[in-house]
């Protein structure tokens, strides 16, 4: 088990680790306010596609703790607020819609809080199961002792269990197939440097941090055997949106003939869209580029371009690992 956790339902409140403070401080926040949870998702105190969905599910449930009337209007208000937090991660909408379906089937509103808490916990339990299955299926990508490169954060801080791509890496290490992990710092918010490095250190897996622009020379020098990342939304053709910089990795992997994999639960597959050009990309405030840790590092009036995600075309992805199976290109059979 992890010796840290991202979220926990405790004493009728959500207890979560503020990821914006990591790795220098481990600060846990306890709240029973759905608006505070929505704000935490927007501010990236809570982040990672599966974890966002889990957090939103508990936010809906917790919001009913003291509601005694007007249940339908309250649900719609809370649902819309949480749906507005992050547009790209499809897991958010999967969890919200699952909670909505549960709510719409409640016959006695006196039981609403307990029923919704039970459903939120079921979503968390399912994501933990997905993590375990992804690690087991994903372990088959290793054929020798390997150096692995990863981008952004895909561990317990982003999902449930040991995460998605991180879970594959951890099982590979435990089985003796992962020799070393290279971690992209993941600009501009440094999820790799701050969060993945934190989780690798906690799990005693050897690693080296590099800036995003150093991945190509590392591959050129023959130091990378494979790359694996997570995803926030996968189209039916396999086009995959993930943290900005992932597309760069897939391109240089293709040039250097290095396999590039994605690991994500099946809830990340958006079965309503055919291809990546239909994925809505979230754009962040340019201040995230021009400042760090609240401190200005350059002229605040500079023009910026700040997408939070990019889309990797399916043909650049050697395999997509879910809890259901390992899929190879072409991915149009994911239905």
Beta bridge partners of 327: 320
Q: What residues does CATH 1.20.120.420 cover in the chain? A: 7-132
Res 3: pLDDT: 77
List 184, 212, 232, 270, catalytic entry: 232
The CATH code belonging to domain 7-132 is 1.20.120.420
Res 68: pLDDT: 85
Beta strands 178-184 and 146-150: pairing type? parallel
Res 133: pLDDT: 98
Sheet containing 146-150, strands listed edge to edge, beginning at the edge strand earlier in sequence: 207-210, 178-184, 146-150, 226-229, 260-263, 319-321, 326-328
- In sequence order, which residues have a C-beta less than 8 Å from that of residue 297 and are 6 or more positions away? 290, 291
Cα R_g (the chain), whole angstroms: 20
- Tell me the pLDDT tens digit for each residue of 159-174: 999 999 999 999 999 9
Active site residue 293: no
Q: What residues does CATH 3.40.50.10470 cover in the chain? A: 137-328
Is 208 a residue whose pLDDT tops 80?
yes
Res 302: pLDDT: 96
Instruction: Report whether 179 contacts 147 (CB < 8 A).
Output: yes
* Burial class for 123, CB neighbours closer than 10 Å (0-12, 13-18, 19+): buried
What CA–CA distance (Å, rounded) separates 210 from 207? 10
- Tell me the pLDDT tens digit for each residue of 292-333: 878 999 999 999 999 999 999 999 999 999 999 999 999 975
The b/e string for 157-178 (b: 16+ C-beta within 10 A; e otherwise) is bbbbbbbbbbbbbbbbbeeebb
Is 334 a residue whose pLDDT tops 80?
no
Instruction: Report whether 168 contacts 321 (CB < 8 A).
Output: yes
Q: What is the mean pLDDT of residues 135-164?
A: 97
Beta strands 295-296 and 291-292: pairing type? antiparallel
Res 335: pLDDT: 54
CA nearest neighbour of 109 among 142, 146, 64? 64
Among the CATH numbers 3.40.50.300, 3.30.70.20, 3.60.10.10, 3.40.50.10470, which is that of 137-328? 3.40.50.10470
Res 88: pLDDT: 86
Question: What percent of the chain has pLDDT above 90?
Answer: 94
Q: How much is the pTM?
A: 0.94
Length of the chain: 335
Instruction: Report whether 57 contacts 123 (CB < 8 A).
Output: yes
Q: How remote is the C-alpha of 4 from its chain's centroid? A: 17
């Amino acid at each position: 088990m992890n010796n840290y956790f991202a979220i926990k339902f405790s004493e009728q409140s959500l207890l979560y680790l503020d990821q914006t403070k990591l790795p220098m401080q481990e600060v846990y926040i306890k709240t029973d306010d759905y608006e505070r949870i929505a704000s935490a998702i927007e501010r990236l105190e809570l982040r990672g596609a599966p974890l966002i969905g889990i957090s939103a599910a508990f936010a809906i449930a917790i919001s009913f703790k003291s509601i005694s009337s007007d249940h339908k209007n309250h649900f719609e208000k809370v649902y819309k607020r949480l749906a507005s937090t992050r547009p790209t991660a499809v897991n958010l909408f999967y969890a919200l819609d699952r909670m909505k379906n549960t709510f719409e089937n409640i016959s006695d509103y006196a039981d609403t809080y307990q029923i919704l808490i039970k459903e939120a916990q079921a979503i968390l339990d399912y994501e933990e199961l997905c993590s375990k299955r992804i690690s087991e299926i994903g372990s088959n990508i290793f054929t020798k002792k390997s150096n692995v490169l990863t981008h952004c954060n895909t561990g317990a801080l982003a999902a449930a269990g040991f995460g998605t791509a991180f879970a594959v890496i951890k099982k590979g290490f435990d089985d003796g197939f992962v020799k070393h992990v290279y971690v992209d710092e993941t600009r501009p918010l440094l999820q790799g440097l701050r969060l993945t490095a934190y989780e690798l250190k906690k799990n005693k897996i050897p690693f080296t941090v590099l800036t995003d622009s150093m991945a190509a020379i590392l591959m050129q020098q023959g130091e990378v055997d494979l790359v694996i990342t997570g995803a926030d939304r996968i189209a039916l053709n396999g086009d995959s949106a993930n943290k900005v910089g992932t597309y760069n990795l897939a391109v240089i992997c293709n040039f250097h003939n290095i396999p590039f994999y994605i690991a994500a639960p099946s809830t990340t597959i958006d079965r309503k869209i055919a291809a990546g050009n239909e994925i809505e990309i979230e754009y962040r405030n340019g201040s995230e580029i021009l400042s760090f840790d609240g401190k200005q590092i350059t002229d605040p009036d500079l023009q910026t371009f700040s997408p939070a995600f990019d889309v990797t075309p399916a043909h650049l992805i050697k395999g997509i690992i879910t809890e259901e199976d390992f899929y190879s290109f072409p991915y149009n059979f994911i239905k």
